Amino acid sequence: MKNRKLLMIPGPIEFTPEVMRAMGMPTASHVAPNFVDCMGQALERMREVFLCPGGQPFIVAGSGTMAMDMAACNVIEPGDNVLVVNTGYFSDRFGAIMERYGARVTYVKATTIGDMPSLDEVEAEIGKADYKGLVVTHVDTSTAVRADIKGLGGLCRKHGILSIVDGVCSVAGEELRQEEWGVDIALTACQKAIGVPPGLALLVASPKAIETFKNRSTPVGNYYSDWANWLPVMESYEARKAAYFGTPAVNLVWALNVSLGQILAEGMDNRFARHRLMSDAFKAAMNAIGLKQIPVSADKAANTLTAPYFPEGVNGSVLPLIAKAGAILAGGLHAEIKEKYFRVGHMGVVNASDILATVGAIESGFAKAGYKFEHGAGLAAAQIVLLK
């Protein structure tokens, strides 16, 4: 009898057997020729996954917050004005990180949780100060709101300011064309749609971002994150030469290279389309059983996760019932509505069977919690979308 539950939270996610086998390989030296080649190839593949052929990739041991920290400390100096397009919890965090490095931070946010400010509102704010950069979370996992990165990147290019995108819950799942859309720094963590167990901070910087770093007038305020320490290492590995600043997470890098290869074998356009399909199917299921979602409209809803409100009479105590039925989900995170909703991640290698199993577990859990709905309606709605 199998005793395994699907991990359907917004990260960590389910990983492929090939990735897990790479994690279990005997640990090599970080200067061994085969690891040097692996690291170099992973850096090259990151450009393809981020769709940024002219960018400089970084692979550093750390979490997604480390990647945010690295983005902030290298291009922002004390007194710089930074605009944060705020869509939730992680927008707040990025703003706090910017302030830690001396930035004067202004937030532009929608009045309704689940919405985001319009491009006109953002541009109006850009005109009020001499901003050095704009920061936005592509998909804020506290609200499942997806920002318009293409539109915001265009605004930044128009006004000559840096665009910094927290893509922790989007890269390799949501459409993100870094170079084409004018994104100067895109960052993520490996445990989300990239598909590797936690432990790597991943970042790609545009030539403009690197030039900004090189022209700064003050020292970088973080020793570990300083690009002056990491840039020569990344360049050396890509040239297939051993280098050292801090010991890389060797087995995670092996796994990363495997996963990046799988992502590219699928093809970025196909991958974006698959995530849209899985998301549409899951959201159709939630609608069919009467669950409303935090994003105010479909065009502002993420493809990598869904954040439904609990129906009246049901609360977080339903989550263990859903887990018992086979799917582990996440509770709420946004402080103002934390007890009112739950979150379901569907990214990376998620497939139709995973979606249907998760919907079935949710229906089972809600039925046992006493919620009245047409049993099987969610499964039927998901199947209709998937069969298209």
pLDDT at residue 100, rounded to an integer: 97
DSSP 220-239: -S-TTT-HHHHHHHHHHHHT
Percent of the chain with pLDDT over 70: 99
Tell me the one-letter amino acid at 350.
Answer: V
The band of 248, judged by pLDDT with boundaries at 50, 70 and 90, is: very high
Same domain, 164 and 211: yes
Same domain, 222 and 294: no
Structural domain containing residue 316: 6-12+267-387
Query: Mean pLDDT for the chain?
Result: 97
Same domain, 193 and 105: yes
pLDDT in tens, 353-388: 999 999 999 999 999 999 999 999 999 999 999 998
Same domain, 228 and 279: no
Count of CB atoms situated within 10 Å of the CB of 311: 17
pLDDT at residue 190, rounded to an integer: 98
CATH of the domain at 290: 3.90.1150.10
The band of 4, judged by pLDDT with boundaries at 50, 70 and 90, is: confident
Same domain, 190 and 82: yes
pLDDT exceeds 70 at position 113: yes
Q: Are 96 and 69 in contact (CB under 8 A)?
A: no
pLDDT in tens, 10-48: 999 999 999 999 999 999 999 999 999 999 999 999 999
Same domain, 245 and 318: no
pLDDT exceeds 50 at position 1: no
Residue 1 lies in a domain: no
The band of 2, judged by pLDDT with boundaries at 50, 70 and 90, is: low
Same domain, 98 and 79: yes
| Rounded mean pLDDT, 164-188 | 98
Q: Are 252 and 61 in contact (CB under 8 A)?
A: yes
Residue 204 lies in a domain: yes
CATH of the domain at 126: 3.40.640.10
In sequence order, the β-bridge partners of residue 361 are none
Same domain, 375 and 278: yes
Choose one of 205, 231, 266: the last residue of a domain: 266
Same domain, 305 and 261: no
Residue 37 lies in a domain: yes
In 3D, which of 123, 138, 120 has the Cα closest to residue 192? 138
Phi and psi angles of residue 90, each rounded to the nearest 5 degrees, phi first = -80, -20
Tell me how many domains the chain contains.
2
Cα-based distances in Å from 55 to 183, 187, 347: 10, 12, 25
Residue 220 lies in a domain: yes
Same domain, 290 and 251: no
pLDDT in tens, 41-90: 999 999 999 999 999 999 999 999 999 999 999 999 999 999 999 999 99
Choose one of 266, 291, 319: the last residue of a domain: 266
Residue 51 lies in a domain: yes
Same domain, 283 and 336: yes
Residue 52 lies in a domain: yes
Same domain, 313 and 205: no
pLDDT at residue 388, rounded to an integer: 86
pLDDT at residue 384, rounded to an integer: 98
Choose one of 236, 266, 296: the last residue of a domain: 266
Buried b (16+ CB within 10 A) or exposed e, 135-144: bbbbbbbbbb
pLDDT at residue 278, rounded to an integer: 98
